[in-house]
Chains A and B, each alone.
Chain A
Amino acid sequence: MTATIDSEPRASVNLAVLKRAGMVGVLVAAAVVFALLKSGSGIVVWQSVVTGLLTGGLYGLIAMGLTLIFGVLDIVNFAHGAMLAVAMFISFGVVQATGLHPYLTMLVTVPALFLVGAAVHRGLLSGSGGATLENQLLITLGLSLLLENGLLMFFGAEPKNVTLPGETQFGVFGAVVSGSRLYAFLGAIALGLLLYWMLQHTRLGTAVRAVASNGPGAELVGINVRRIHTLTFAIGAACAGAAAALAVPLLSVTPTLGEQFNITAFVVVVLGGMGNVVGALVGGLLIGLVEQLTTIYLDGQSSLLGVFVVFVLVLFLRPQGLFGRRT
């Protein structure tokens, strides 16, 4: 599962990935054509595709942290959504208190979530108590309940909103896109590339990939595995912090907002291949599309239904993800 994080530049592998990507592209095109036939209106489908892709970028960004944690530590972090909610409240609080631009709150949320992540890993998950899969599931589940209800108790359930100063609308070949959505999408792509670059080209990134592919081996060559684990968990949490600052003008901030993103993020992680950062970004875009197209296909059904159907199919048929190799 973790093999995808160190994408060695081998021609055969790249070819297989390209083939796979081509197939996914064909499937997406077919889905869009089918939606076109179903709705009979080009502009409706185009608007859905644009909205889907833009929302999908955000899903990808949230899922990136999750997939990093899964790929390196083999921990399914059920608390990821709750951490996102915590970061949203921090961002909201900073905007309220200082009047800072919402995107600049990233300077607060990213370090804060980094520390939260490090503390959670050191305090709860590392060591023998956090060893088995069941225990990790239960601990992160407990943590997510704790964070969500802590927020609920101190801030109440009423939704809070942050508006983006100078919010505008863009037209993209007839589709209407709000500025905040577009900026969040661009920010997600940029952060995804930054994370990818960090993993591929820095010393820390190399160490992270080494630990992911072979923990004991990494230990033998002098990498402090426990430290890398903590750092990875912290970086994963920091991704949620960055996503929160980018998404805060788009959403109403409630204690339970993490729940829905948690679900979607898991779907994206499995779709992109657990541990595959670029896969998570692509998977996010796909899930954004699926959500939008579901509302065209199935009248009156929730957009999440299509997401779950795709999820179950992927779990059954390609549990290693769309781009992963079968292990």
Chain B
Amino acid sequence: MTDTATTGAAGATRATAAQAGTAPPLRPQNRQLLILAVLVLLAIPLPLILPPAQGAVAVRILIFLIMAVGWNIMSGFGGLFSFGHAAYFGLGAYTSAYLLVEHGVSPWVGMAAGMAVAAAVAMVIGYFSFRYNLKGAYFALATFAFAEMLRLVTTSTDAVNGAVGYQVPLIQGSSVWQLQFPAGSPAYFWIALVLAGLAVAVSILFRHSHAGRYVVAIRDDELAAASVGAPVMRHKLLTVALSAAITAIAGAFYTQYYLFIDPQLAFGSSVSIEAIVTAVIGGIGTIWGPVVGAVIVGSLSDVTATLLATPPEFLGFLQGRSGLDVILYAVMLILIVRLMPKGIFGTLAGKISERRRR
């Protein structure tokens, strides 16, 4: 919403006029892609610097990031508030785990298959929801119901191991094709980094593409967009499919990293909530919001875990208790929605661009 793209052509020309002689400013998407490239390059040496425990946190942050980028495309850019992204995360996880365990298919192929399955399911759910004109809270409840249905069906279907779930078979040594490395290997981080970088890049390109502009226009005023000829249904379906496919990547990678998946981990409502909270804390509808949110939410549980393992004097009564990390991010969620509804990144970006304009 607060993207630099919206500053418009007038601002751009004025800027060029002011700095006559220097190179013209980059187009917004190119600038964002450049920032992304710098961020990815800066992150590459991280697993070699960080101690192993923090390395695992870094990988978790990247998984959160992919999930939140996926959620943000549908609910931020598209304005379709999803309460059931666990469905797509779980479909990605289960498709790749099923193909790997039952048929020995490479997780990469499984990931692609999972993306296709998630996108197809999202389009079916989306088609019926839009066809019957579900809006706002009703749409959120419907997405939630579908995620829960998937959880219940996988829990009681023996063909996918029911409540037991899947354990990824261990291999000797490491293999990129099998997406498996010794525990604590930096390769996990690098692969997650590439996937997360691609996800953010797709979200940047989508936001500035023709389709992305249509989607935002439809979000802001569906009737107006339809009346000037925007194909509403097609673009909504495109949005949910893209969002689901990106979220499925996170699910497939999660399975490979933790070597285990079960219905609760894949389709549980806490997965949907994590995707929402991450994007909202960072900033709904911005490119960098999910990135900022993932860093905060992903590292929070590690911070609280160390805090509770050796608590300072006044927090002694909390030793060995669980739930503090969720409490902290719940409080953060409420405060951010109340005080800075554009999220941390959105609010800061707004402040900065305001100052620049002055």
Contacts and interface: CB of A to CB of B under 8 A. Distances in A.
Interface of A: 76, 124, 129-130, 133-135, 137-139, 141-143, 145-146, 148-150, 152-154, 156-157, 255, 259, 263, 266, 270, 300-302, 304-305, 308-309, 311-312, 315-317, 319
B337 A135 contact: yes
Interface string B127-152: 01100101011101110111011001
Nearest to A135: B337
A92 B134 CA distance: 40
A146 B327 contact: yes
A319 B322 contact: no
B330 A145 contact: yes
Interface of B: 81, 83, 128-129, 132, 134, 136-138, 140-142, 144-146, 148-149, 152-153, 155-156, 269, 273, 276-277, 280, 284, 318, 321-324, 326-327, 329-331, 333-334, 337-339, 341
Nearest to A134: B81
Contact of A305 (B128, B149, B273, B277): B149
A311 B148 CA distance: 12
B136 A133 contact: yes
A129 B341 contact: yes
B156 to A, nearest CB: 5
A142 B134 contact: no
Contact of B140 (A124, A135, A137, A156): A137
Given A259-B269, A316-B128, A317-B132, A139 B337 contact: yes
A142 B333 contact: yes
B152 A302 contact: yes
B142 A139 contact: no
Contact of A129 (B136, B146, B284, B338): B338
A326 B52 CA distance: 59
A315 B338 contact: no
20 contacts: A76-B141, A129-B339, A133-B81, A135-B341, A142-B333, A142-B334, A143-B334, A145-B326, A146-B331, A146-B334, A149-B327, A153-B327, A263-B148, A302-B152, A302-B155, A308-B145, A308-B149, A312-B145, A312-B146, A315-B141
B152 A153 contact: no
Contacts of A137: 81, 83, 137, 140
A112 B7 CA distance: 50
Given A134-B81, A305-B153, A319-B138, A142 B324 contact: no
Contacts of B145: 308, 311-312, 315
Given A129-B339, A263-B148, 7 more contacts: A139-B338, A141-B273, A152-B322, A300-B156, A305-B156, A315-B141, A319-B134
A149 B326 contact: yes
Contacts of B141: 76, 266, 270, 311, 315
Nearest to B148: A308
Contacts of B333: 138-139, 141-142, 145
A302 B324 contact: no
Closest 8 A-B residue pairs measured CB to CB?
A: A149-B323, A145-B330, A142-B333, A146-B330, A152-B323, A142-B334, A153-B323, A129-B338
Contacts of A133: 81, 136-137
B334 A139 contact: yes
A270 B132 CA distance: 15
Nearest to A151: B323
A124 B331 contact: no
A263 B146 CA distance: 12
A319 B132 contact: yes
Q: Which of A124, A148, A302, A317 has the most CB of B within 10 A?
A: A302
Contacts of B152: 301-302, 304-305, 308
A86 to B, nearest CB: 14
A150 B323 contact: yes
Contacts of B326: 145, 148-149
B277 to A, nearest CB: 8
A156 B155 CA distance: 26
B156 A301 contact: yes
A284 B187 CA distance: 52
Q: Which of A153, A300, A317 has the most CB of B within 10 A?
A: A153
Contacts of B138: 270, 315, 319
A146 B332 CA distance: 10
Contacts of A315: 132, 134, 138, 141-142, 145
Given A312-B142, A315-B141, A142 B148 contact: no
